[in-house]
């Protein structure tokens, strides 16, 4: 397979977005080339060009119309890559049905506005040959890794009960025509069309999306440097605005936090004052109880002293009475 050629699967999942990874991959190669092209010190001659120059889109050999997903996928790819439609496993269709199927496919592609790769016919030397090959689109191909014996030769092909199908026999399939077109006659044309049409389209859309233009508001030519300086100033102004907005939001957040902290501090202070008042009240009550207890102790000792004095007096009087009786 030639470098920069992308084969497409014959069976694609029914999800309508399955073509998006393919589109993203093709755009990624364009983006890599664009970034290299925009460098101050470029090395495009040494740069490994990974852009996709051909997309081999395999179509199931149903013999009927194209699937809606095939049409949708090719419609999203035709502006980004050179599409070469192929009918896979073409040996499963008879020659008459194959020609009808080819015509039906080309009619559907045309009616849906899908642009496929056409060999150039503007050069006199190759005009007739290329017109003949264009008439074979979509190519009917058969592949095989096996070698079978035909006469005294070993050829790549498929062995059936009714005979042998040779992959490289132009009477059996279009594989040789496809190979020659890709590797011999039209490789440079595919690369040129990729660069001058598909890549230029991507480059134009990309730079336009970034805000670059060839003319100013007054329809006067504008240099790339002027565009760059204008975008640079616009970006700088945007950064300044965003920085100011961030500062304002930061200051607002700080004020909100300060207000929250002050409110929490006030709540703690009020709680502290409340607890302090409770403590002072408890201390006052304890002091009163202490004074009351001291008074009670003094009264107790007074009563005790009076009781002891009374007992002493009674004891003395008792002794005197006994002495008198004697």
Residue-wise pLDDT for 116-149, tens only, equals 998 887 777 667 777 888 888 898 888 888 888 8
Is residue 14 predicted with pLDDT exceeding 50?
Answer: no
Residue-wise pLDDT for 276-311, tens only, equals 999 999 999 999 999 999 999 999 999 988 888 888
Is residue 261 predicted with pLDDT exceeding 90?
Answer: yes
Residue 25: band (very low, low, confident or very high) from pLDDT cuts 50, 70, 90: very high
Residue 326: band (very low, low, confident or very high) from pLDDT cuts 50, 70, 90: low
> What per-residue confidence (pLDDT) applies to 163?
80
Query: 299 is written with which tokens?
Result: 């009264």
Residue 13: band (very low, low, confident or very high) from pLDDT cuts 50, 70, 90: very low
The values of phi and psi at residue 231, to 5°, are -65, -40
Say how many C-beta atoms besides its own lie within 10 A of residue 121's C-beta.
15
> What per-residue confidence (pLDDT) applies to 10?
43
Residue 7: band (very low, low, confident or very high) from pLDDT cuts 50, 70, 90: low
> Are the beta carbons of 190 and 54 closer than 8 angstroms?
yes
Residue 5: band (very low, low, confident or very high) from pLDDT cuts 50, 70, 90: low
This prediction's pTM = 0.63
Which phi-psi region, left, alpha or beta, contains residue 278 (left: φ > 0; alpha: ψ -120 to 50)?
A: alpha
> What per-residue confidence (pLDDT) applies to 11?
44
Query: 97 is written with which tokens?
Result: 């049905």
Residue-wise pLDDT for 38-74, tens only, equals 887 777 777 888 999 999 999 988 878 888 888 999 9
Residue-wise pLDDT for 180-234, tens only, equals 888 888 888 899 999 999 999 999 888 888 776 666 666 666 566 666 677 778 8
Q: What is the DSSP letter of 181?
A: I
Q: Go through the domains of the chain in sequence order and give each one's CATH number.
A: 19-210 (3.40.50.300)
Q: How far is CA 260 from CA 200, 226, 265, 268, 273, in A?
A: 58, 50, 9, 12, 20
The C-alpha angle with vertex 125 and arms to 121 and 130, in degrees rounded to 5, equals 40
> What per-residue confidence (pLDDT) applies to 43?
76
């Amino acid at each position: 397979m030639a470098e920069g050629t992308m084969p497409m699967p014959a069976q694609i999942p029914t999800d309508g977005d399955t073509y998006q990874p393919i589109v993203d991959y093709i755009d990624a190669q364009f983006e890599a080339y664009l970034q290299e092209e925009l460098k101050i010190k470029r090395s495009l001659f040494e740069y490994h060009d990974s852009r996709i120059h051909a997309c081999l889109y395999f179509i199931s050999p149903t013999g009927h119309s194209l699937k809606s997903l095939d049409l949708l996928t090719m419609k999203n790819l035709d502006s980004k890559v050179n599409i070469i439609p192929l009918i896979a496993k073409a040996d499963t269709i008879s020659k008459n049905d194959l020609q009808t199927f080819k015509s039906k496919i080309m009619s559907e592609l045309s009616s849906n506005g899908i642009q496929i790769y056409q060999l150039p016919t503007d050069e006199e030397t190759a005009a007739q040959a290329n017109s003949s090959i264009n008439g074979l689109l979509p190519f009917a191909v058969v592949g095989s890794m096996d070698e079978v014996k035909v006469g005294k030769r070993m050829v790549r092909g498929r062995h059936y009960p009714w005979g042998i199908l040779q992959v490289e026999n132009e009477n059996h399939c279009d594989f040789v025509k496809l190979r020659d077109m890709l590797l011999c006659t039209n490789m440079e044309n595919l690369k040129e069309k990729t660069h001058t049409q598909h890549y230029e389209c991507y480059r134009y859309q990309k730079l336009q999306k970034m805000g670059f233009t060839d003319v100013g508001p007054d329809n006067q030519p504008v240099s790339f440097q002027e565009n760059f300086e204008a975008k640079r100033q616009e970006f700088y102004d945007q950064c300044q605005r965003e920085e100011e907005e961030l500062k304002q939001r930061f200051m607002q957040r700080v004020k909100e936090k300060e207000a929250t902290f002050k409110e929490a501090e006030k709540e703690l202070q009020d709680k502290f004052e409340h607890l302090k008042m409770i403590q002072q009240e408890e201390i006052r009550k304890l002091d009163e109880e202490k004074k009351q207890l001291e008074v009670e102790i003094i009264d107790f000792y007074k009563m005790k002293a009076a009781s002891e004095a009374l007992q002493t007096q009674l004891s003395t009087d008792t002794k005197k009475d006994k002495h008198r009786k004697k």
